[in-house]
Amino acid sequence: MTRVVITGMGLITPLGRGVNANWKSLISGISGITSINKFNTKDFSCKIGGQVPTNKTHPSFFDVDSFISPKDKKRMDDFILFGLAAADDAIVDSGWKPQNDMQCDRTGVIIGSGIGGLQTIYNNSIVLKEQGPRRISPFFIPSSLINLISGQVSIRHNFRGPNHAVVTACSTGAHAIGDAARIIKYGNADVMVAGGAEAALCPLGVAGFSSIKALSTSFNDYPEKASRPWDQSRDGFVMGEGSGVVVLESYEHAKSRNAKIYGEILGYGLSGDAYHITAPAENGDGGFRAMKGAIDDAGLNLLDIDYINAHGTSTPKGDMIELNAVKRLFQKNVNNLSMSSTKSSTGHLLGASGSVEFIFSVLSINNKIVPATLNLENPSDGCDIDLVPISAKDKEISYVLSNSFGFGGTNASLVVGPSP
């Protein structure tokens, strides 16, 4: 069976642009969650979010004008811009540039989004209502469609291999990476650019999630304290935005060009709850089966897993459902592993969360550091395993399990290991 390795990574998150900048902030316990300033939150119950920093005073701010022209920028929703920038960074990091038609045909893209161009759709609905159909831009549809991240990346880099997009809510990024790895394993491509992107931190997005009481509202005056997985005071997730993209290759392809290798994708598990449109099944069986499937696919034993990057969104029910599923799966071996939620630092990037957290998982292996669960000051009853509260910790890490679960009962788990 073909082995699949990671050779490039790119991150755009509320912590900034760049893998190194993100990792440094993450392990330093810095939160990217702030008061929302991109729109007026006066009438909103939730006034906080994880915004991608664009102010030049931020040490790793996202400068959209540095990689795309003003004309092209107007033709893309922010989720495409985030995905395109993260993909650019990952591709540069990988050092891969096809030199002939065959190499172009063997390089593909799978970058998805949970929601897509929500703000662009909203803006055009207002134009339609107030100015009529003739005033709608011809770029409206291609600036909103979720698969246009993959399309734009392929056009920009002349990648002519498999090209599609995943849309599985908050499991999107993980599913995209898992599916891309399988495309390489099946021999349909040598290189895949994969991940997720999201830019739903807009009035309609915040209003929508607020209406189902999914967002934190108790920490509007202390934004950095709001995302607190497994803490007794948690009251909902904090929405974030951004993108995480990786370059995957067959091991033989990477080795043939002397590429640096960050790690290897070993296992991929996926399942469905068949339970509820927004809530996870209370017995956590869907997550349990996704985790077990990923570990079985990797050919590992439960004892081999050193760290779990949890879905851990900071919701009252979801956090404990995931924790109990982990306990059920690992049983006595649960005391040998660490589990944390990096959403405590970035917020919940929805369709981008799985790919962002996959990259954090790879970095934890390479740096032998487990990121912390920020704000975990008073753990809920039953939180009797190592949830890495408050501060990152040093640890020998060989194998990481990364979880992503989404609305509609969609679940994905990935197992990543060290470079072969």
What DSSP letter does each residue of 275-306 carry, written as one string? S-SSSPPTT-HHHHHHHHHHHHHHT--GGG--
- Are 363 and 312 a contacting pair, CB within 8 Å? no
How far, in Å, CA of 259 to CA of 253, rounded?
9
Active-site residue, from 46, 170, 202, 383: 170
58 catalytically annotated: no
Please, how many CA atoms are within 13 Å of residue 155, restricted to the half-sphere of its CB? 7
pLDDT in tens, 90-143: 999 999 999 999 999 999 999 999 999 999 999 999 999 999 999 999 999 999
Confidence of residue 1 (pLDDT cuts 50, 70, 90): confident
pLDDT in tens, 323-366: 999 999 999 999 999 999 999 999 999 999 999 999 999 999 99
215: closest CA among 206, 204, 224? 206
What are the structural domains of the chain? 1-409 (3.40.47.10)
253 catalytically annotated: no
Active-site residue, from 46, 202, 311, 383: 311
Q: State how far the alpha carbon of 303 is from the alpha carbons of 177, 333, 369, in Å.
A: 24, 6, 19
311 catalytically annotated: yes
- Are 115 and 350 a contacting pair, CB within 8 Å? yes
Active-site residue, from 157, 175, 253, 348: 348
pLDDT in tens, 187-242: 999 999 999 999 999 999 999 999 999 999 999 999 999 999 999 999 999 999 99
Q: State how far the alpha carbon of 272 is from the alpha carbons of 86, 140, 404, 411, in Å.
A: 29, 33, 12, 6
Helices (H) and strands (E) in the chain, counts: 14, 15
Asked if the model's pLDDT at residue 40 lies above 90, the reply is yes
pTM metric for this prediction: 0.98
